[in-house]
Amino acid sequence: MSSEQIEINIPSSEEHRKEIFKAIEQMSDAMTRMKAEGEYIKETKKFIKETYEIDPKWISKTLKDFHDDKFDKTVKEFEEYEAFYETIVNMKNNSTGGENPPAFDD
């Protein structure tokens, strides 16, 4: 079994260390903002649920489709799924007793 050595390049320049620290501070601030925005979204979904009695899953789905600008894709995928589902389920419900593949015999 071989052991891997881990190397961390520690900058010797004080200027570089300060720049890296400033970048870490800024990223930490960004993470704080992200957390706060996540809380805002969560609280807004809760407000909509309580005020308008809308299931949060529909708010989340609508938000995602709106934000990603992919409503048309979502609708197309659903239509394809709907056609697939109806074809498969209707085939079983309307089956004339045809043979099942060996792995699926009743």
Dihedral sign from CA coordinates of 98, 101, 102, 104: negative
Q: What is the mean pLDDT of residues 74-79?
A: 97
Q: Which band of pLDDT confidence, cut at 50, 70 and 90, is reported for residue 10?
A: very high
Q: Could you tell me the maximum CA-CA distance found in the chain, to the nearest angstrom? A: 81
Q: At which residue do the structure tokens 């009695």 appear?
A: 53
Work out the end-to-end distance of the chain between its first and last CA atoms, rounded to an integer number of angstroms.
Answer: 51
pLDDT digits (tens, 9 = 90+) for 16-75: 999 999 999 999 999 999 999 999 999 999 999 999 999 999 999 999 999 999 999 999
Q: Say what the pTM is.
A: 0.66
